[in-house]
Amino acid sequence: MTCSFLDGDHFTNGPGSLIPVSDAAGEIAAVGEGVTRFAVGDRVVNTFHTNWIGGRLPAAETLRGYGNAQDGQLAQYRAVSENALAALPESLTYEQGATLPCAAVTAWTARHAAEAGRRRAHPRHRRCLAVRPAAGEGARARVIATTSSAAKAAKLTGLGADTVIDYVETPEWGQAVLDATGGRGADRIVEVGGPGTFAQSLVAAGTHHAEIVLVGFVGTGGAPIGFMDLFRSGATVRKTWVGSREDTEVLVRRLAVRPIGPVIDSVHPFGDADAAFRHFAGRGNFGKVVIAAP
Ligand SMILES: NC(=O)c1ccc[n+]([C@@H]2O[C@H](COP(=O)([O-])OP(=O)(O)OC[C@H]3O[C@@H](n4cnc5c(N)ncnc54)[C@H](OP(=O)(O)O)[C@@H]3O)[C@@H](O)[C@H]2O)c1
């Protein structure tokens, strides 16, 4: 089994020293009685949520995170429900598969809103987490990303970002998004800063009924949200929480026929998993940090 991890939330142990790490890919080594979805030898990835098959997120699923509330994936063998797995096509390596359950599915649902049963056509501008899938679309979204790092800015441009804004040099980056879009603003904003960035996202949304997708909360200390600013924007605000098994399956199938290559920062041996954690904690990675099976 090969694993990758996303952020501090997903590799810290919860109470009782749980096995860390939320995402993995691997091969079915054995099946229990009554298993029908998979057979020995099948290639699979886990789903981020154990019991969310489709439709809306069951409330209890938010309390069952791998590595936080139940054992995670940093193991050679795991006994899991067949319902918490999705098939991994031959065209994707295990290392690539292990990058998908959280970050890639989140980027996908931030774009596609399957959970809410809604789809919006051709969003043209977005930022941050979803650069890779957005830039990989056929009728391509125009991508605006934020980073404080010149090195990351160059890599984001290499991945297909059309405009990269340094949010430290330009703290009013919402206005910079308006400027970059001829005053219109972004159509969809993937909001990963949360309290630290929402007010700027609202500026970036303009006044044309954009969508702001709430994903993360890495930012602190932003301005409070002004009700009249929200009203003027006409923006729809929606939360995403990774995605269901159905979302995972759709994304994986899509990648199989139109591979856009998950960005892998580094692959570390299973026996030296500590090095992977230390590397990640140093915040120097760009893309997913993977721990390979022995
Ligand atoms: N809801 C969900 O389903 C879900 C799923 C996955 C992750 N998350 C959450 O999403 C968040 C982001 O995760 P990630 O892995 O995408 O993080 P990441 O790779 O560090 O990306 C965050 C991006 O936002 C930028 N940024 C940080 N602070 C900013 C600010 N004040 N203003 C503007 N841009 C800012 C970062 O710039 P720098 O390059 O300068 O750091 C970086 O480009 C975390 O809170 C995570 O827990 C939520």
Query: Which residues form the pocket of ligand 1, taking CB atoms under 6 Å from any ligand atom?
Result: 6-7, 9, 102-103, 106, 128-129, 146-149, 152, 167, 192-193, 196-197, 215-219, 240-242
Looking at residues 217-232, what average pLDDT do you find? Answer: 90
> Half-sphere exposure of residue 267, counting CA atoms within 13 Å on the CB side?
14
**From 12, 52, 106, 129, mutation site for ligand 1 pocket: most ligand atoms within 8 A of C-beta:** 129
Q: What is the pLDDT of residues 106-127, one digit of tens each?
A: 999 998 864 444 444 334 444 4
Separation of 7 CA from ligand 1 center, angstroms? 9
Q: What is the pLDDT of residues 68-92, one digit of tens each?
A: 899 999 999 999 999 999 999 999 9
For the whole model, what pTM was predicted?
Answer: 0.89
The CA angle 224-226-230, to the nearest 5 degrees, is 125
Nearest CA to ligand 1 atom 37: 147
Question: Which two structure tokens, joined as six digits, stand for 269?
Answer: 């041996």
Separation of 218 CA from ligand 1 center, angstroms? 5
Phi, psi of 278, deg, nearest 5: -65, -40
Domain ranges in the chain are 2-106+242-292, 117-239
The answer on pLDDT for 130 being more than 90 is no
**CA distance between the termini of the chain:** 8
Separation of 139 CA from ligand 1 center, angstroms? 25
Q: Which fold has domain 117-239?
A: Rossmann fold (3.40.50)
**What number of helices (H) and strands (E) belong to the chain?**
10, 12
Looking at residues 144-173, what average pLDDT do you find? Answer: 96
- In this structure, are residues 288 and 263 in contact, taking their beta carbons and an 8 Å threshold? yes
pLDDT of residue 3: 63
pLDDT of residue 37: 98
Q: Which atom belonging to ligand 1 lies closest to the Cα atom of 129?
A: 16
Tell me which architecture the domain covering 2-106+242-292 has in CATH. Answer: Alpha-Beta Complex (3.90)
Q: What is the pLDDT of residues 32-74, one digit of tens each?
A: 999 999 999 999 999 999 999 999 999 888 888 999 899 999 9
The CA angle 209-148-227, to the nearest 5 degrees, is 30
